A and B are shown apart, each in its own frame.
Chain A
Amino acid sequence: MEPDPSTSWYPVARSDDLPLRHVFQGELLGRELAIWRADDGFVNVWENRCLHRGVRLSIGLNEGRELRCQYHGWRYANRTAGCTYIPAHPADAPARVICNVTFPAVERYGLVWTCDSPGGVAPGDGPPVLAALEAAAPLGLRNLPVNAEPSTVLDELAAYAFVPTGLLAQRTAHDRPVAGSATLGTEELGAEVSVTDRGHSWIELTARMGEAASRVVLFVQPVDSARSVVRGVLAGGADGADGADGAGVHSPERDQMAVLRHHHRELSRLRDAIEDRAARRPSPVPMTPRLQQVRLRPAESALEHDRRDGGRRTGLRVSVARRWDTADAIVAFELRQLDGLLPTPRPGAHIDVELPNGLVRQYSLVNGPGETDRYLIGVKREPASRGGSACLHDTVIVGDVLAISEPRNNFPLRRDSFRTILIAGGIGITPLLSMAQALHWSGHTYELHYFAQSAGHVAFTEILDSLGPDVTTHLGLDPSGTGSVLTRLLSDPEDGGHVYVCGPGPMLDATRNTATTAGWPDHAVHFEYFTNATEIDSSSSFEVELARSALTLPVPAGSSIMDVLRANGVAVASSCEQGACGTCLTAVIAGEPDHQDVYLNASERRAGDRMAICVSRSRSPRLVLDI
């Protein structure tokens, strides 16, 4: 019976086919694969086409943490294959569903294994575990492409004849060129070879000659219906000490070469015979693997900015893998998903964390590019904590399970700037740290200025150290000292330059004012408030008309627009629900918004065409929203 290809593991490359920063082109069951190792060692096996325009990713750039497509520079993250940046639209974060097709990957016996299971979920127990290859360091033979049907190739490999390793080694030790000789065949040497084990895509053979014995396992990679690659692994390496009662002779590299040559010559000879027979049979129809359709619904945009997701949802479950004090009163948490992969983090993104006490709080991700197996957050204990930071600090320990939302990005990073200035105050370092790492690892010029009370208040020093000279810390400055540094940093507004700032409210206000005074345009100054410190005035009452839903609803004093919409069954996206994060921004068609958020800047407020419906209200009796 044919094995189910979606749960069967096959080798598709050798581990040493993946040198530093290379992308290897592989193929399995008619499907092309782009195989690359990230700098953290993870092996990625992806469908070999960029989901934008179908260009082969094997001609892309392995940047160590991300793979960049050659055609339009789209970046895909290590491990998740999530798209992290679309250069044609620098201001927008790519939608979360923009994700390449991944396949599971395991390295074993010097080979990279995968199975035809799009989505990357590893089925079953993984690649075969073979006692012969577990015993001692196995030696990978040269792989051999064979133009014949994989099942036939497997059957015909039973006829493979070779000489036990120990004998080859002995003979070379005596300077008799056995393996290099074209005339001396296996038959003449008289080895007895038998099939000692076999699986659905591999065969184990043992050669015996007198006292000497050695085992080889031949794996068949089904490339297509009429093409195979035979990947051989010799038990016990070149010294033959594989535990199969062989006479091992320890000898240097020359033996290894002799052994490899012997197998290559014998396998090539067998290959020619297999191909001759295959050429006389009718060629089978090539395989037609199904291409995944993109996961966008029709008319949906690939850019997050254009999309509207549902409300605040904490649907992911993560466990606290590590927590440590990263600075005075700041605890870092490393969160790992219980199973599967976390959605791809992007610079500037935050998650909602549902705390054991029921509160929901937002924390920026500190992750650098390609760090996709965990989320890293930094939590500062707020003296006036309403129970959020105190709960995390005091009660959450390693092993605890938390519910979090998918990352949301209302503070996206442009990468089309000749000069990027990142300014952080205190715990405001967290989103800027992910931005700095993204810019650093993709070779963009930037500067990060980190204002903190003292050296003891500087968080994530190990990451800061990895960034090198582009980081400047400014310690122990009072407000006027901070002000003069800001004035100096922002003194030279540059065409095409961008400023990103995050920190305590007063420092953020000071930075924005300094930038405006210096002549930076509003659109070049990006900021993120952690909280909205302004007192919300919800005393007004008015009517909202929902243009697309054809609904008109009264908003009474004391209720927000968002409350009213939800009470009437209209789903709206939100996160902080206090006018700080910008998730609920909604287009205004008519009426005059009464802005009470801290997300929009002065010119955006004046334009009056978007509003944060969680806190902002209406100055006019009627407000028409594009919902």
Chain B
Amino acid sequence: MAVSDTATMGTPSCTDPVALHEWYPISALVEITPGLVHRTQLLGGAISYTRTPGGSRPVVWPSGGEASGAEVDGLAVDHQLPVRVKFGYVWTTLGRPEHELFDIAECDEADRRIQNGGSIMVATSAPRAIENFLDMGHFPYVHTGILGAEPRTEVLEYDVEVTDEEILATRCLFFQPQAALSASDGQMTEYVYRVPHPYCVMLYKSVPTDASRMDVIALFCQPMTEERVRAHNFLCMVDAVNSDTALKRFQQLIFGQDKPILENQSPRRLPLDPRAETPIRADKSSISYRRWLSAKGLTYAVIPATAPSPTPAPTPAPTRSS
């Protein structure tokens, strides 16, 4: 069963070593006010973060009694957690990862527009969000008129390569009425999907105005609990025309369409048993993703294949009497 968020404040409930010894994004760096306490949750535990007075260095620590918005001197904080700054986000860990974070080569290109497209809380598990990001079949139904439209609903055969480090799905083709903000017409769009981290996924898609280059959009998931995630939408675009706000808004429009679907999925944790749900050929990348998680031995935010049959997590009823 899910543990309630409040019951675990301050103490991480996660005992899964695979999930513990991993890096997680907690905030876009520019969204942290220097000198003030920000609070969030990671793997069931409460954590606090800030930037040092000059604004240069992020500091992250397991929450004590400090209130959100209180003043704090980052330099004076004890028990600091390890920190990395990458892709414009602050990453931390509750364990001791032996590996560094993955790379995205396109981030080094000079004309890239790099920003956080929005950090959005979703009442589901991180792997459900990742799997939705990997999925093309829902475009005509969930992103109607933008990323897909009836009757062009076919998901053509594509390739999936799996290594210990990552999953790579290539030759993913789908008809899209408006593939990006800079697109004016419907077109067959080609995607490449990459999963280099259990809770991070990115897609590469041809730039509507320059077929030789690829826009990169990623979803970096911060597992707040097993059934609650903060999804950081990372944008790394080639677009000389639209404003940052317009690009952000487009991404938030898309993710805003996914959110209610994700929050109506049951069970919320991703079932890894191949017989728990019904895959089709179009789900090749998600089948690979579930197997890959199983092979890693991940148990956090999933229902492992060996576990007894999952139960749906019904929306808790409002308790009138308490």
Residues of A within 8 A of B (CB): 27, 30-32, 48-49, 51-56, 59, 70-73, 86-91, 98, 145, 147, 223-224, 227, 275-276, 278-279, 286, 288-291, 293-294, 296, 298, 301-303, 306, 415-418, 444, 496
Which of B140, B151, B280, B320 is A147 in contact with, Cβ under 8 Å? Answer: B320
Which of A30, A71, A91, A145 is B314 in contact with, Cβ under 8 Å? Answer: A30
Q: Would you mind naming 9 contact pairs between A and B with Cβ atoms under 8 Å apart?
A: A27-B314, A54-B265, A71-B261, A73-B140, A88-B137, A91-B154, A293-B276, A301-B280, A417-B151
Determine whether the beta carbon of B278 is less than 8 Å from that of A88: no
- As a 0/1 sequence over residues 122 to 136 of chain B, the CB contacts with chain A under 8 angstroms (1 = contact) are 000000000100001
Instruction: Please give, as numbers and ranges, the residues of chain B lying within 8 Å of A59 by CB-CB distance.
Output: 260, 264
Determine whether the beta carbon of A71 is less than 8 Å from that of B141: yes
Contacts A71-B138, A293-B275 given; 11 further ones with Cβ under 8 A? A53-B277, A55-B264, A87-B141, A87-B150, A88-B155, A90-B154, A290-B309, A291-B312, A306-B281, A416-B153, A417-B151
Q: How far is the CA of A32 from the CA of B275 in the complex (A)?
A: 20
Q: Which of B248-274 contact A (CB under 8 A)?
A: 260-261, 264-267, 271, 273-274
Given A27-B314, A31-B312, A72-B141, A88:B153 Cβ within 8 A = yes
* Interface magnitude class on chain B: 35 or more
Which of B153, B265, B311, B320 is A55 in contact with, Cβ under 8 Å? Answer: B265
Instruction: Please give, as numbers and ranges, the residues of chain A lying within 8 Å of B265 by CB-CB distance.
Output: 49, 53-56
Determine whether the beta carbon of B309 is less than 8 Å from that of A49: no
Determine whether the beta carbon of A147 is less than 8 Å from that of B319: yes
Instruction: Please give, as numbers and ranges, the residues of chain A lying within 8 Å of B1 by CB-CB distance.
Output: 286
Determine whether the beta carbon of B278 is less than 8 Å from that of A89: no
B282 near A: Cβ within 8 Å? yes
Interface of B is mostly: loop
Q: How far is the CA of A496 from the CA of B280 in the complex (A)?
A: 23
Instruction: Please give, as numbers and ranges, the residues of chain B lying within 8 Å of A294 by CB-CB distance.
Output: 275-278
B152 near A: Cβ within 8 Å? yes
B159 to chain A, nearest CB (A): 17
B26 to chain A, nearest CB (A): 28
Determine whether the beta carbon of B267 is less than 8 Å from that of A54: yes
Q: How far is the CA of A529 from the CA of B312 in the complex (A)?
A: 47
Instruction: Please give, as numbers and ranges, the residues of chain B lying within 8 Å of A91 by CB-CB distance.
Output: 154
Q: How far is the CA of A279 from the CA of B319 in the complex (A)?
A: 9
Determine whether the beta carbon of A88 is less than 8 Å from that of B321: no
Determine whether the beta carbon of B264 is less than 8 Å from that of A56: yes
Closest 4 CB pairs of A and B: A87-B153, A279-B321, A88-B282, A88-B137
Determine whether the beta carbon of A89 is less than 8 Å from that of B151: no
Instruction: Please give, as numbers and ranges, the residues of chain B lying within 8 Å of A71 by CB-CB distance.
Output: 138, 141-142, 261
B17 near A: Cβ within 8 Å? no
Determine whether the beta carbon of A49 is less than 8 Å from that of B266: yes
Determine whether the beta carbon of B261 is less than 8 Å from that of A88: no
Determine whether the beta carbon of A89 is less than 8 Å from that of B312: no
Q: How far is the CA of A56 from the CA of B260 in the complex (A)?
A: 11
B317 near A: Cβ within 8 Å? yes
Determine whether the beta carbon of B314 is less than 8 Å from that of A89: no
Q: How far is the CA of A49 from the CA of B312 in the complex (A)?
A: 9
Which of A51, A415, A416, A417 is B277 in contact with, Cβ under 8 Å? Answer: A51
B88 near A: Cβ within 8 Å? no
Q: How far is the CA of A608 from the CA of B282 in the complex (A)?
A: 26
Instruction: Please give, as numbers and ranges, the residues of chain B lying within 8 Å of A73 by CB-CB distance.
Output: 140-141, 150, 153
A274 to chain B, nearest CB (A): 9
Determine whether the beta carbon of B154 is less than 8 Å from that of A98: no
Q: How far is the CA of A49 from the CA of B277 in the complex (A)?
A: 10
B32 to chain A, nearest CB (A): 35
A606 to chain B, nearest CB (A): 22
Q: Which of B177-208 contact A (CB under 8 A)?
A: none
B279 near A: Cβ within 8 Å? yes
Q: In the complex, what residue of chain B is closest to A274 when comparing beta carbons? A: B321
Determine whether the beta carbon of B153 is less than 8 Å from that of A298: no
B322 near A: Cβ within 8 Å? yes
Q: In the complex, what residue of chain B is closest to A59 when comparing beta carbons? A: B264
Determine whether the beta carbon of A303 is less than 8 Å from that of B321: no
B118 near A: Cβ within 8 Å? no
Q: How far is the CA of A302 from the CA of B282 in the complex (A)?
A: 11
Q: How far is the CA of A417 from the CA of B137 in the complex (A)?
A: 16
Q: How far is the CA of A306 from the CA of B280 in the complex (A)?
A: 10
Q: How far is the CA of A71 from the CA of B265 in the complex (A)?
A: 10
B310 near A: Cβ within 8 Å? yes
B315 to chain A, nearest CB (A): 9
Instruction: Please give, as numbers and ranges, the residues of chain A lying within 8 Å of B314 by CB-CB distance.
Output: 27, 30, 32, 224, 286
Q: Which of B277-322 contact A (CB under 8 A)?
A: 277-282, 309-312, 314, 317, 319-322
